Amino acid sequence: AQSVAQPEDQVNVAEGNPLTVKCTYSVSGNPYLFWYVQYPNRGLQFLLKYITGDNLVKGSYGFEAEFNKSQTSFHLKKPSALVSDSALYFCAVRDMEDSSYKLIFGSGTRLLVRP
Amino acid sequence: SQTIHQWPATLVQPVGSPLSLECTVEGTSNPNLYWYRQAAGRGLQLLFYSVGIGQISSEVPQNLSASRPQDRQFILSSKKLLLSDSGFYLCAWNGLTTGELFFGEGSRLTVL
């Protein structure tokens, strides 16, 4: 069965510092991996995805993520955090062999960037 | 471009009343459609998905049902709401060629 783990409920960083939000996954086949961001009382916004190719994926708002197959991880990173990055972040996985194309989401990590 | 609409945005309903949440997608045809529920502002649980008109798959047993009467319309329903049905309901469609889901703005349901 597919699963995604986000081990941190909350990540606190100072503005201007680098940030990392962790994600590990488990799928039976090859994974499609995604990161989304959610602001209060809003839907989820797509940030970036890994399908195949370069292990370092660049996305919206200066975010990037590194796919590591041996560690089954897909951590979200940003070199310099902004206060406006404070939000709820979700990692998600899709099993390429699953014809429903559904995404399984992690429990979410709240990012708090302090001024 | 493609857009997705959900309504109502906010709903307060008494226990035992019926429910209907609607989702429509524009600018694409034959999308896969999904209903997720988010409880307490955290994790998302997949409730239903549909790969075509009249085709509904349920992921978890519950008090809710879904229907897809038209290609780009997805409806979430209940005959009698429970307190535990409260939550933030998100509709999404899938860009099959690219893999990611695109979400609506959500419908917040409070059952009293």
Is residue B92 pLDDT above 70, yes or no? yes
pLDDT reading at A16 higher than 80: yes
User: Measured in whole angstroms, how far is the alpha carbon of residue B95 from the centre of its chain?
Assistant: 17
Contact assessment for residue A19 and residue A11, using Cβ atoms and an 8 Å cutoff = yes
- For B100, the closest of A34, A41, A104 (CB atoms) is A34
Nearest-CB residue to B106 (from A34, A36, A43): A43
Q: Could you say which residues from 26 to 65 on chain A have a Cβ atom under 8 Å away from some Cβ of chain B? A: 32, 34, 36, 41-46, 49, 51
pLDDT tier at B6, thresholds 50, 70, 90: very high
Q: Which residue has the tokens 């329903």?
A: B77
Flag whether residue A67 sits within 8 Å of chain B, measured between CB atoms.
Answer: no
CB pairs under 8 A between A and B: 58
pLDDT of residue B41 exceeding 80, the answer is no
Whether chain B has a CB inside 8 Å of the CB on A3: the answer is no
Say yes or no: A107 contacts chain B, CB-CB below 8 A: yes
Burial state string for A53-64 with b = 16 or more CB within 10 A and e = fewer than 16: eeeebebeeebb
Alpha carbon of B18: minimum distance to chain A alpha carbons (Å): 23
From B4, which residue of chain A is nearest by alpha-carbon distance? A43
Residue among A4, A19, A106, A24 nearest A73 (CA):
A24
Identify the pLDDT of residue A27.
85
**Do A46 and B43 count as a contact with CB atoms less than 8 A apart?**
no
Highest-confidence range of A8-17, A98-107, B57-66, by mean pLDDT? A8-17
Please choose, from the candidates B45, B43, B92, the residue with its C-alpha nearest in 3D space to the C-alpha of residue A110: B43
Q: What is the pLDDT of residue A97?
A: 72
Q: Per residue in A44-94, pLDDT tens?
A: 999 999 988 889 999 999 999 999 999 999 999 999 999 999 999 999 998
Greater pLDDT, A95 or A50: A50
The residues, ordered by sequence, that sit 6+ positions from A54 with a Cβ below 8 Å of its Cβ are none
Quick one: what percent of chain B has pLDDT higher than 70? 96
